[in-house]
Each structure stands twice: as C-alpha cells, then as structure tokens.
Amino acid sequence: MISSAPLAERVRPKTLEDYIGQEHLVGKGAVLHDLIKKGMVPSMILWGGPGIGKTTLAKIIANSTDRPFFTLSAINSGVKEVREVIENAKKQQFFATQNPILFIDEIHRFSKSQQDSLLGAVEDGTITLIGATTENPSFEVISALLSRSQVYTLNPLEEKDLLKLIQQAIEKDEFLKSKKIDLKETQALFRYSGGDARRLLNLFELVVKNEQGDKVVVSNEKVKQIAQQSMLRYDKDGEQHYDIISAFIKSIRGSDPNAGVYWLARMIEGGEEPKFIARRLLILAAEDIGNANPTALVIANNCFQAVNVIGWPESRIILSQCVTYLASSPKSNAAYQAIINAQKEVKESGNLPVPLHLRNAPTKLMKELDYGKDYKYSHDYPNNFAHQEFLPKEIEGKAFYAPQDNAKEKQLKERLKALWKGKYNY
C-alpha cells in the first residue's frame, strides 16, 4: 500500500550516503561527516533557508549515532514542553550509552526564557541540542547557548542537487516507480520551488498526480499550470505563514510599496486575519519609521482600529493605504535602537539610584533629606528648558538615542544640540 504522506516525507534520506547537498559539511572528509562517523556529535545550530535539509540532517545524525531523538517545534512549544523533554531525556540515559538528541525546529522563535531553560541540560550533557534556524543565530539565539554550540551554515541547494532529488525520488518512491516519467523540462520546477527541496518534491508529485494514465511528461508549461493553482495555498499556522509575513515586513522596511502590497495580497488571498496584519504594521511604524515620520504611527494605529470595526473584504483597502504609505515613508530605527541601548545599560549597571533632585518630596522627612532640592521646573525657564542632569551620576552623559539623517530627525538633532550646548553633539 502506497503511503499517503507527502513525497518529501516519503523519500526523506535516512543515511549520509543518501543525503544530497551540503558537501562542505557532510562530504567525505568534511567536518560533520567525520564527527558523525566517530559518534562525537556536539550541540549545534544549523543555519540556512527553508527546505535545504536541516531537519533531515538532524535525523540522520541521530540514526547514524544510534541516539534517542526528541523533537520540538518552537512555534508550538514552551518552557513546560522543554522541561518535559529534558526529564524524558534524563530517563533515557539509563538505557542508552549516548546522550539523547533534542532537535528544535525554528529555534529562533524561542524566547530568551525558553532558550535559558535549555542551558543546564546542554551544559551537563543531558542532551545534545540541534537547533534549526532560518535567521542569523548571532541575533536570534542567546549568547550563552551559542557559546555551548557549534554553528554550521547550510548553503542553498544548486540545480544539480535539485535534479538529484527528483531522480532519487523517481528511483525510490513506490508511487513514482509505478509511472513512466519523462523529465522533459525542469526549469519551471526549480523556479517555482525557489530552491526549497520540500516544495520541489511536493510540486513534482502534484504534476505527476495530475496526469492520467501511467505515462507522465513533465514540461515547464504543465508545472506552471499546477504551480499557479496551488501557489495561493497559505497555511496560517505553518512555515509559509512566517516566510510571507517576513517578506511583507522586509518589503515595507525596504521602501518598496509594490512588493509590500503584493505580499499583502498573498496574505489576503490566503485568508489571513486582518488584525494580525494591522498589528504588524503598528509595530513596524514605530520600529522602522519612528521619528523620521511620527505620523506613520498615527496612521498605523488608525488602520488597526478601522480593520477591527470593518473586517473583510473592505479592510483590504485600508490595509493597502497603510502599507503603501508606510513603505513610501522615510525610515529610521533610532527609537527602536534607543530602547535596546537603554535596556542593555540597565542590565549592565543595575538599579542605579535616582538623583535626589529628581525625586518626589511629598513628606517633611523627604524634604529634609533633600529630595527634590535644586530641581528646575522646565516651564519656568526660557524655551521651556533648563540645563540639568536627568541620568544617574554613574552614567552621566551616556547617549542612547541617536537621531538619523532624515529631515524630521535632523530637526530634532539640531534642537537638541542648540538646547544642550555640547551634551548632544551628534
């Protein structure tokens, strides 16, 4: 009986010999190849685009080293699930000579507390961690976890690798072996899959299943027809959901209204929630535009309120207006960077005392202790400004906010320089 699982799952390689691509890591003599063969597998982060073999490689490592294999998805799991898996891993140690492997897909989606919950088990060898991420781990994985793991970068699959994947599937899959398949053209298969092996194989299977009889001729035109029928499918809880929202945000951040509204249309046609889209626009307005155009946040907030009232299909017009406005707006992440800098300082310097002149003095005792003494009420001075220090003494003069080189923030920069006479010399 032929399995109902997707082709990509049915033909997933189980050994290094069957694994296609990533020769720089798993080819003979390469670093991971030798470690796997010796059974000396460190905790690691596998970094690369979707569908290029991260999950498959993790499973091969577990099979090749004969270790128990636990898996979690960062999309669906929290600290509770992590702790449960670690407890199960500890129990496995009684029955296995090698410590179990814990594979975490999309590890960059784990919060700091979730990543922190892994540290002890990784450090004492209870588990060997293999994390998979499509995002730069330097930014998305906490430094403590990175320092305990090796980072391996997986390269995009080349056309020769994609062709090998199809040929391997034709040779090994029971359903495909029952067909007489002529790979007349492959360019469209490669183009529509975007280098993603999972998409490639599943699209290939759709083309084969669409043909009547045992003889199948794969042409660019046939692939194009099938791809266009299926490309609007949009799994709101799956990987494509995150890929498209990522493309959407990056297009607006990159000041491309055409691309922004295209990805908006993809989400609309896929049935995405309008409030989800509007929330992301609200965040983007502050994070990526900020004081370069303060009106952006007002418009994004109005958009959010409006889609809550109106709903589909009319919300698409409001979202389109907001997307094209935000994409066309000047950009600055100075406000976003300022709070990151300030939080970093708080973590490093701890709870510094509030200067006495900035403290409230509602009681006689507090006044006797000089609370509020020498505070200058700004509105009593020309231009509503009085020169005084507002930071704790230990970090006087520290700069967190650096206005960027756009028209609005240039005005802010000049005003600050004029008021502070040397303190804000950007």
What digits encode the pLDDT tens for the residues 23-48? 999 988 898 998 988 888 899 999 98
pLDDT at 392 over 90: no
| DSSP string across 169-236 | HHHH-HHHHTSEEEE---HHHHHHHTT-HHHHHHHHHHHHHHS-SSEEEE-HHHHHHHHHHHTT---T
- Between 99 and 163, the more confident residue is 163
Average pLDDT on 151-165 reads 91
Q: Answer positive or negative: Cα dihedral of 313, 316, 318, 319.
A: positive
Nearest CA to 193 out of 159, 241, 238 is that of 159
Average pLDDT on 282-299 reads 92
3-state secondary structure of 101: strand
Rounded to an integer, what distance in angstroms lies between the CA atom of residue 398 and that of residue 405? 21
- Between 186 and 233, the more confident residue is 186
CATH architecture of the domain covering 159-230: Orthogonal Bundle (1.10)
- CATH class as words, domain 239-328: mainly alpha
CA separation (Å) from 302 to 281, 285, 320? 11, 12, 13
- Between 145 and 111, the more confident residue is 145
pLDDT at 298: 95
Average pLDDT on 354-371 reads 79
CA separation (Å) from 295 to 259, 301, 324, 416? 22, 10, 14, 21
State the fold for domain 346-420.
post-AAA+ oligomerization domain-like (1.10.3710)
Categorize the per-residue pLDDT at 416 as very low, low, confident or very high, splitting at 50, 70 and 90. confident
Residue 347 sits at the vertex; the CA angle it makes with 132 and 374, to the nearest 5 degrees, is 155
Rounded to an integer, what distance in angstroms lies between the CA atom of residue 277 and that of residue 257? 15
- What are 2's two structure tokens? 């032929």
Report the amino acid identity of residue 412. L
Please, are residues 300 and 322 in contact by the beta-carbon 8 Å criterion?
yes
**Per-residue model confidence as pLDDT tens digits over 235-251:** 554 556 677 888 899 98
**How far is Cα of residue 216 from the mean position of the Cα atoms in its chain?**
39
Highest mean pLDDT among 70-79, 115-124, 161-170 belongs to 161-170
Strands 150-153 and 69-73, bridge-based pairing: unpaired
* Domain limits, the chain: 21-153, 159-230, 239-328, 346-420
- What are 77's two structure tokens? 């799991």
Q: Which long-range contacts (CB under 8 A, 24 or more apart) does 392-400 make?
A: 392/349, 392/352, 392/353, 392/354, 392/355, 393/352, 393/355, 394/349, 394/352, 395/345, 395/349, 395/352, 397/423, 398/345, 399/424, 400/338, 400/339, 400/341, 400/342, 400/345
Please, are residues 285 and 299 in contact by the beta-carbon 8 Å criterion?
yes
Please, are residues 275 and 310 in contact by the beta-carbon 8 Å criterion?
no
Lowest mean pLDDT, pick from 90-99, 255-264, 292-301, 337-346:
90-99
Identify the CATH assignment for 21-153 out of 3.40.50.300, 3.90.10.10, 1.10.1060.10, 1.25.40.10. Answer: 3.40.50.300
Report the amino acid identity of residue 139. F
pLDDT at 97: 61
